[in-house]
Structure 1
Amino acid sequence: MRAASFVAIALGAGLGACDACSKPAPPPSPAATAASDAASTATTSSPPSAATSATSATATAHHGASDAGPPACRVMMAGGGVPATLDLAAWAQIPDGGRATIKSSTTGRELTLVSGAETRPCSGDAALLTQGGLDAVAGPGEGPGSEQWVATPHVAMRWTSGSHKVRASADLTTIDVTRPGMRIFVAEDVTRSPGAATAPTAQTDGGAPVRDGFVGVAPGRVELAWSKTAPRHGATTRGVVSCEQAAAASSAIAQEIARAGAPQARLAEMHLVARGVARAACAIARARLGRAGDAAYAARVDKAEALFQAVVVSLAPAGSASSRAPKLPPR
């Protein structure tokens, strides 16, 4: 899967001696799953990212738990039959002619959900969209280091500012990019239209993905559709497996960081890259599951996300230099 291959490239650049890290992680086998369960006793959850912090209040709703804290998002304006009490933590349907502007209670960022949108905008790392439209509202919440993430079944995207427009259907995602700074992670079984308005930016190398798997996109329209060699049928399975592979690769780097003699600074940088790939791959998998996603697949994505969000404190004997290694900073 492409997600795992990007991590492998990063690993190969920084580790010649780490065989476990220089190869893409295969889909977890039953034995590997059992091993990861055992290893989880030696882990602690990493501090959440900015996007995760913004949605922590609603993330528990997805897992069936209650949360007494304030909602992660609230409806600022609604019309066309959209209730002001719209549940933004769950999958929501915006009726034809409807419109709702929502605001993150933590980051202050705003999104407008437009007619026909089927979306889960405020639960997890990224706003999810499977049908209809979603528009970014420029200005509110924008700041250095702050990003908005959105995922459809075809692509994960991130930006710092701009009033970008995203439209999704079962077969196509269209992004209207209004200013530089948009970066996209295209799923392996998806192709970008030949006429897409793309150009090299600080995050690209001649338009090709750089080590973190994201492509910089110039202002204009980008269209993404299923590859002819990988049709829509089976896309959910492919997305879940890609998420699992990327999460396993990220976890492998985290475990290497905890071992004695590892070049901590370089590995920490590679781990941030690997977590970004896993975050994008798993957001796409969530979008493919959609409103009526298979419970078993959803559980696999839950497990993969927990794996890459965890940081191994130490795998070395107590008192050794590596056992005292500091935890990685959050992404």
Structure 2
Amino acid sequence: MSSDNQPVALPANQPRQFYRGGAAIAALRDEDVAGRGPEDWVASTTTQFGKAEAGLSRLPDGRLLRDAVAADPVSWLGSGHVAEFGADTALLVKLLDAGQRLPVHCHPSNAFAAEHFGCRHGKTEAWVVIGTSGPDPTVYLGFREDVPPDVVEGWVAGQDAAAMLAALNPVRVSPGDAVFVPAGVPHAIGEGVFIVELQQPTDFSITLEWRGFLDGPDAGHLGLGYDKALGCVERRAQDVEALVRRTRALTGASVDLLVPRAAPFFRADRLHVSGRAALEPSFAVLVVLEGAGAVGPVAVHRGSTVVVPHAAGEVEVIGDVVAVRCRPPRVSDLGS
């Protein structure tokens, strides 16, 4: 049967990045870290900003997943999803291993992306923490207090990294934590944090803290100029408790990982399979964290990444497996 009707195991897909990392991905996959990068774009139909193909995943038969989905979207995504999104998975999944602190940055909303990039998707995202290292694994999420626009502009113009970071909410994280990051909310991921990242399928990033990370300011505003790009920044204070779920102690067959606000953008759950379990029909991306077994006809083990087409139907998972399952939003969750 063709790969468009059965789960498919995918190899690593690590386009070049501007920051250090990758050892945790190599360890998860039991691969040599040499030449690998800090991000693995899993089942990606999204390119890096301004690139023709970098970031796209290939199926084992050599086709780009993007092209396979475009050729048969209903098999891959299901008729309800196609009615809403067309041949668009509405999802990008990454493994991200922060070998250094990432810069303070944010992402556009749907409305901002539509106005300035002609794209229906902004870049709301979520981080499922699957590993940490070092003495203080921390992420930084949203401003602690409301910040006037001229203050943000001053920080960016002067590249005052200390002030930007101090203005954000520090959140200590450990495996099992899941963090929802709405579009516009400034954030940074600290050194030693290893995540499965779900996001809308774009590569739009407004980098507030470009010095020491990017070649210059022009690389940080996506060609808009900072006067316009900073219009996407959410300057209101954030209640981080409403954005974070701590799930490490939860061991049900399927553990919802994300806060309810994430539902219009994507879904994530952690599967705990001992013996066998049936998964309902859905386009899905699975990252196996522990154990070994099979997802349909595909043998899996720790570090396996699998894309499941909707046409595979009710897929059976066999063995002793812990995996993060990532899915697009239910069409019924999108609202008006």
Same fold (TM over 0.5): no
Report the TM-score, using the length of structure 2 for normalisation: 0.28
- The structure, 1 or 2, with the larger RCO (C-alpha pairs under 8 Å, 6+ apart) is 2
Structure with greater strand share of residues: 2
Report the TM-score, using the length of structure 1 for normalisation: 0.28
